[in-house]
Amino acid sequence: MSERQWIALYTKANQENIAITHIERQSFETYCPMITRTRRHARRIEQVRRPLFPSYVFVRFSQNGTQWRPLLSTRGVQSLVKFGDKIGLLPEGFVEDLRRYEKSGKLHQAIAPKVKPGDQVTLSAGPFQNCIARVLSLPEKERVWLLLDMMGQQVRVSQSICTLLPA
C-alpha cells in the first residue's frame, strides 16, 4: 500500500471549484473528474462540463504526518467521507484509472433517446435486453415506466431511459 492515498471530500452544492482552489492553496493534490453533458435551457442546447460525481472532490494526502483536519474547515468543503471513525480511503489505482479514462475520452454522458408515452422501444441492457416494450410514462428525466409482454402477460417495469433504443 502506498503511503500517499486518495480520499473523497463531500463539497457544498456546486462548490467543487471553490473547494479545489482552497484545498490546493493548502498544498494538497486534488482531482475532480469531469464529463461533458448536454444542457437544455431557454430553447438552447449547449455542451457543458460538469463533475462526474457532483459534490465530491478527491484529495491526495500522505498518511505519515499530513493533517487532514484543516480540510474540514476549508471553504466549499462540507465533510470528509468516512466509514465510522475511519477515513474512507479510495482503492489504489482508482483515481489514476479515472484520469486515464477522462483523458482518453471514455468518460461520456449516455445520450437518452427522445421517447414519449405510447412509443415502442427495445431495451439495450439489463435483464430484459433485446425485449420490446411500450413506454407508459416518463415520471423522471432519467427513468421511464415500460410495459413488457412476458410469457403471455403484461409486466410494468421501471428502466433507465439510456437503455432504450427505438423499436
Q: Which of 13, 18, 56, 9 is nearest to 35 (CA)?
A: 56
- Please, what are the domains in the chain? 4-104 (3.30.70.940), 120-166 (2.30.30.30)
- Mean pLDDT of the region 25-45: 82
Torsion from C-alpha of 25, 12, 65, 27, nearest 10 degrees: -10
Q: Can you list the alpha helix ranges (DSSP code H) found in 54-159?
A: 69-72, 94-104
Higher pLDDT residue, 156 or 57? 57
Model pTM score:
0.63
- Reported as a single tens digit per residue, the pLDDT across 38-82 is 666 677 777 778 888 889 999 998 766 567 788 999 999 999 998
Per-residue pLDDT at 147? 81
Q: Which of 108, 137, 114 is nearest to 36 (CA)?
A: 108
Strand partners, 150: 153
